[in-house]
Amino acid sequence: MSAFNALKMGESQVFTSAKSLQSRLDSESNNSTVGFLPTMGALHHGHLELVKQALQENTHVVVSIFVNPTQFNKAEDLESYPRDLEADLKLLNSVGDVIVFAPSVEEVYPEDYQNLSIDLGALGTSMEGEFRPGHFAGVMNVVNRLFDIVQPTRAYFGIKDVQQVAVVQYMVDQVQSPVEIVPSAIVREPSGLASSSRNYRLNEDQLNEALIIIDTLHFARGIARQLSPQETKVKAIEFFKNGSLEIEYFEIVHPRTLEFITEWVPGARACIVGYCGEVRLLDNLELIPSNK
């Protein structure tokens, strides 16, 4: 153990307690900036792209690896979630010097923890909120708690989970946190499939079958200018059914509010979830170019 009670693995220092991590960060100069990536491990090259961005934009980068039990709807999903800290550290060490926070459940949620309760309104009841009740309450609590521990300057989130990004931004606004939320583009495999830890659970045939998700999104983008959002949705679902996956939802939403739209707006985004066997896969794609 070092002076900060950190485990040394490769080039990364791994802190398991909030106190030891905070001591490490407090040792830096006052004008240092901290970029933060909250993850549940099972890291892939999508995470690494976020780490690279954070390394470019901050003095230090903290990556948390914590499988948060409060955001799982099914006990079997929590149990089967992949955990391999050694593999995660090897990946992180390949892109730079990062600080890793790998706490226990008890460290994140001590006995005196006060649950954060924020009414998300429609943002919390549509799409993921409808099909994963309680999920966003778990997300808000763990992210808020990790922000309290890490005190980051910026926090990085991939927009593959576009609704999660919106929820975190809303939470930050409500609690008046100074953390800057940085949404980052979806990282994809060469096939076009969105990079995800869930992809590890798919065999070669299933990885090919899962391409119907991105194919459907591209199909929707191709017909969007000729049809209304509702007509585009209907045609896209019909197209998806040409594949073997089971669809959970396909929605076309406003890029900021994520409300369902009836007229096209710049940045309008299609969001989709499908099941490949027992594996739940989600993705999204901008259908109408934004004004950026």
Relative to beta strand 6-9, strand 12-15 is antiparallel
Where does CATH 3.30.1300.10 sit in the chain?
197-285
pLDDT tens string 246-283? 999 999 999 989 999 999 999 999 999 999 999 999 99
Are 258 and 166 in contact by the 8 Å Cβ rule? The answer is yes
Contacts 24+ apart (CB under 8 A), 25-33: 25/60, 25/62, 25/99, 25/150, 25/151, 28/59, 28/60, 32/59, 32/60, 33/57, 33/58, 33/59, 33/60, 33/153, 33/154
Which CATH class for the 6-184 domain?
alpha beta
The H-or-E segment that residue 251 falls in is strand 246-253
Where does CATH 3.40.50.620 sit in the chain?
6-184
Q: Annotated catalytic, 47?
A: yes
The model carries a pTM of 0.90
Please identify which of the residues 44, 47, 135, 218 carries the catalytic annotation.
Answer: 47
CA 111 to chain centre: 27
Instruction: Give the tokens for residue 242.
Output: 């040409």
What pLDDT shows up at residue 122?
84
Instruction: Give the tokens for residue 116.
Output: 């954060």
Q: Which residue has the tokens 């197209």?
A: 239
Fold of 197-285: Pantoate--beta-alanine Ligase; Chain: A,domain 2 (3.30.1300)
| Residues of the chain scoring pLDDT < 50 | 1-10
What pLDDT shows up at residue 76?
76
